[in-house]
Amino acid sequence: MHKKNHSRITRNSRREKNKHNITKKIVLTSIAGLSLILICGGVYATYAIQHNPKQESQAEDISQYEHKEHALLEKIRTSQKHDELESTEQEKTDKNIQTLIYEPLTTEAIPQLPKINSELTTLIEAAHKESSKETPIKLVGHIKRIKVNEQLVGYQPILDTYTWNQEKNEWSEKTELGKQPAFVNQKTKQPLTLQDIFISEANALAVQQVIEQKLLSESPDGNAIIDGILNMPSISLAETAFTYYSDKISLTLAENSSGKTEITLPYKEIAGYVDPQFIDTASIKDVVPEPLDPNKKYISLTFDDGPNPDTTPRLLDILKEKGVTATFFMLGQNVVKHEALVKRVAEEGHEVASHSYSHPQLTSVDAQRVTEEVQNTDKAIYHAIGKLPTDFRPPYGAVNKEVATIIGKPIIQWSVDSQDWQSHNAEAIIKRIDETAYNDTIILMHDIHPETVDAVSTVIDHLRNDGYEILPSKELLGKKAKPLHMYYGSKDERPVQ
């Protein structure tokens, strides 16, 4: 009995041991399998992570951005390093916006620098407000040096904005300029002034004439506004605001009947009245008249006091036949009576100029009377031909500084007096001119006298036989005559005292 029990216990023990061994094998096998799964899964996960197209693209994008950002900054800094205007860099980063400001080292060369910096700051602040905070942006503020010529240099604030384009993986660029460059006279080291450009009050008055004509020409009805235009204050060298360009200039106007507050004049329209040191000379290259040939003889025929319906038409016929152009200094009171005749004078290529309205001695009347004599003639001639007269001959040649300032036009005197007003004799007129004519001079005659007209054909023939080329006075003077100056010939210019 005892033996049986022992045998049964032994079998049970073996059975339990076998079960334990089987369980152990199962566990070990499971652990091994799980480990293999984990290892394989890790390998696969690592492979998947390393070879995920989306993540690969993102990583590549980051790499391209960093590379192109570095290249852009290198380009910006290299450009500034080689710029004519030496500067120092100030850098600031606000989230995705990096701002680089380049400040000039030689600040004393730019007297307007505080104003330029203020404008640059405004550009940068506006760009900050308009920019997306999610997109990388580079703001580069700097000052560009603009060399017009040796005498004039400009400085302009510039803002370059570089924005990262995620889709194209590249930087886009936009440039904003300050309103206007600030120009500096290199001789004085001071801001450019109208005095620099126009040189003198005389030239400023000449420019005023151009302004008046331009305002009238651009008006749908010049006659309706002419009084206001002729009475508008003249530009001031010290006070008139202006915007400079290398080929033109914009001037602020006083209140006037045209309603315009600013006018822009290409230098080619005022070529004789600007200092070429301060402009692009190419802008006036084709309009500056060639100087008279020093090897030739020149003379000008001028006629006062007309037009006269009995004598002026016959004179015009003679001049046309001879191929001569002349200058007619007309009285306003005759212009209003004979507008068609004035128009013919202009259409046939002669210069229509002013000789006052009623022929008083201007130095013996008050300023108001002088103004009326000048303006009434201006209006009469404008009404007849659509243009204001640009030259003036004072009755009796009488003029002083005050009168000349009111007139506001070049004063065209004479150097050869035919004395036709005294002799009233054709032969005497011819003889007088033959004996007194000389090179580069202006001859005084009157187209209201029949005897003068009788003499003209012979006068022209004699002058040509003596080698003279006959020109209107404006051409003789090179189209550069200016107010406050008197002209007796192309080589005899005198300031009015």
pLDDT tens for each residue of 335-388? 999 999 999 999 999 999 999 999 999 999 999 999 999 999 999 999 999 999
pLDDT at 320 over 70: yes
- Say if residue 397 is in the same domain as residue 443: yes
- Say if residue 186 is in the same domain as residue 275: no
CA dihedral 189, 194, 200, 205 (to 10 degrees): 180
Q: Which of 134, 169, 191 is the last residue of a domain?
A: 191
- Contacts of residue 243, defined as CB under 8 A and 6 or more positions apart, other chains included, come to 180, 249, 250
- Say if residue 204 is in the same domain as residue 167: no
Q: CATH number of the domain that 466 lies in? A: 3.20.20.370
State CA 100 to chain mean position distance. 31
- Please report whether residue 127 resides in a domain: yes
| Banded pLDDT at 1 (limits 50, 70, 90) | very low
- Say if residue 228 is in the same domain as residue 125: no
Check if the beta carbon of residue 160 is closer than 8 Å to that of residue 140.
yes
Give the model confidence (pLDDT) of 453-488 as tens digits. 999 999 999 999 999 999 999 999 998 899 999 999
Question: Which of 41-45, 145-149, 264-268 is the least confident region?
Answer: 41-45
- Say if residue 337 is in the same domain as residue 262: no
- Say if residue 271 is in the same domain as residue 396: no
Q: Which of 142, 157, 191 is the last residue of a domain?
A: 191
Across the range 77-94, mean pLDDT stands at 93
Across the range 163-178, mean pLDDT stands at 94
pLDDT at 124 over 70: yes
pLDDT of residue 133: 78
- Say if residue 417 is in the same domain as residue 309: yes
Check if the beta carbon of residue 313 is closer than 8 Å to that of residue 341.
yes
For the chain, the maximum distance between any two Cα atoms, rounded to a whole number of angstroms, is 187
- Residue ranges of E strands in 337-471: 351-354, 411-412, 416-417, 441-446, 468-471
- Please report whether residue 211 resides in a domain: yes
- Please report whether residue 67 resides in a domain: yes
* Residue given tokens 């001028």 in the structure block: 302
3-state secondary structure 135-149: CCEEEEEEEEEEEEE
- Say if residue 205 is in the same domain as residue 236: yes
DSSP assigned state of 98: E
139: left (phi over 0), alpha (psi -120 to 50) or beta: beta
Query: Distance (Å, rounded) from C-alpha 22 to C-alpha 14?
Result: 12
- Say if residue 245 is in the same domain as residue 205: yes
| Banded pLDDT at 49 (limits 50, 70, 90) | very low
State CA 168 to chain mean position distance. 39
pLDDT of residue 460: 98
DSSP assigned state of 234: P
Query: Distance (Å, rounded) from C-alpha 16 to C-alpha 231?
Result: 130
Between the ranges 46-55, 59-68, 161-170, 369-378, where is the mean pLDDT highest? 369-378
Element (H, E) at 12: helix 2-50
pLDDT of residue 16: 53
The whole domain housing 461 covers 297-495
- Please report whether residue 46 resides in a domain: no
Q: How many residues does the chain have?
A: 497
Mapped onto helix, strand or coil, the DSSP state of residue 47 is helix
Across the range 209-217, mean pLDDT stands at 98
Across the range 210-231, mean pLDDT stands at 97
pLDDT of residue 161: 97
Per the prediction, the chain carries an average pLDDT of 90
Residue 482 — φ and ψ, nearest 5°?
-135, 155
Q: What residues are labeled active site?
A: 304, 446
Check if the beta carbon of residue 109 is closer than 8 Å to that of residue 184.
yes
CA dihedral 440, 444, 446, 451 (to 10 degrees): -90
- Please report whether residue 160 resides in a domain: yes
- Say if residue 406 is in the same domain as residue 472: yes
Q: CATH number of the domain that 163 lies in? A: 3.30.565.50
- Say what the pTM is: 0.82
pLDDT of residue 271: 93
- Say if residue 446 is in the same domain as residue 395: yes
pLDDT of residue 125: 95
- As for how many domains the chain has, the answer is 3
**CA nearest 123: which of 164, 79, 97, 161?**
161
Across the range 281-309, mean pLDDT stands at 94
Check if the beta carbon of residue 124 is closer than 8 Å to that of residue 146.
no
